[in-house]
Amino acid sequence: MDTITTTTLMRYKREGRKFAALTAYDTSFAAAFERQGVPVLLIGDSLGMVLQGHDDTLKVTVADIAYHTRCVHKGAPNALIVADMPFMSYATPEQAYANAAELMRAGARMVKLEGGDWLLETVKGLTERSVPVCAHLGLTPQSVHVFGGFKVQGRSEDAARAIEEQALRLQYAGAAMLVLECVPSELARRISERLSIPVIGIGAGRHTDGQILVMHDLLGITSGYIPKFAKNYLSGTGNIQGAVAAFVEEVEHGRFPGPEHCFE
């Protein structure tokens, strides 16, 4: 696979080419995902739940993300590696700059931050300091206690308008990519059409530029609650390589997500 950059993804968006993304946490899986043509790998703070066994993502540290970023970078040197900024690691712009630098040195090519307008100064500052930023709107798991649980966001007209306008302001501040999580499909479509940067959806319908899943959901090894937007690709293919290849193919051809994975 050729080296994937933000320029690559911008070209995909202009060409209308859908792309797949997966979470990754170690060298072996990262290498397998890159071999199957997954262009974007996210070291997600989801590791707090799927690797560490916590009930939420809040206990993950910058050191945790940096460790797993180094592992993923060794296995997938050509993928666009995005590292999550953990809970309270970017409470101030100065704090964000220091922690983002640690993650970039570990091998990330972009950092991801959850939140809207309160992050505009931070996004602008990171971009000015040569750190590409992926914004994250909708259901932002680090705000789970504010939301009162893992709930779909943007269902009312006012809430949808607020998310849409925040997305535009984040792009203007310098965000190079946006993740939309658990929002109605129509809202995700509007945002994807209005933004010039790539939009990756998870539980956001089929109209976004890319789709991301947690690797454990893709392989059907998530214990407990299974999100509506997840699909077990391993059950239909019988091996990990086939599962990843099927996911990439379905995303690229617009067959995933289906209506059963979406919120209206």
- In the chain the first and final C-alpha atoms are separated, in Å, by 36
Q: Is 46 within any annotated ligand binding site?
A: yes
Whether 181 is catalytic is: yes
Give the C-alpha separation, 21 to 178, whole Å: 13
Per the structure block, which two tokens stand in for 17? Answer: 């080419």
Q: Is 84 within any annotated ligand binding site?
A: yes
Q: What Rg value do the Cα atoms of the chain yield, rounded?
A: 17
How many Cα atoms within 13 Å fall on the side-chain side of residue 93?
Answer: 13
Is residue 81 within 8 Å of residue 69, measured between CB atoms? yes
Per the structure block, which two tokens stand in for 6? Answer: 């933000």
Inter-axis angle of helices 157-173 and 120-128, nearest 10: 20
Burial class (CB in 10 A: 0-12, 13-18, 19+), 169: middle
Say which of 181, 193, 249, 264 is annotated catalytic.
181
Residues acting as catalytic residues = 181
As annotated, the binding site for 3-methyl-2-oxobutanoate includes 45-46, 84, 112
As annotated, the binding site includes 45-46, 84, 112, 114
As annotated, the binding site for Mg(2+) includes 45, 84, 114
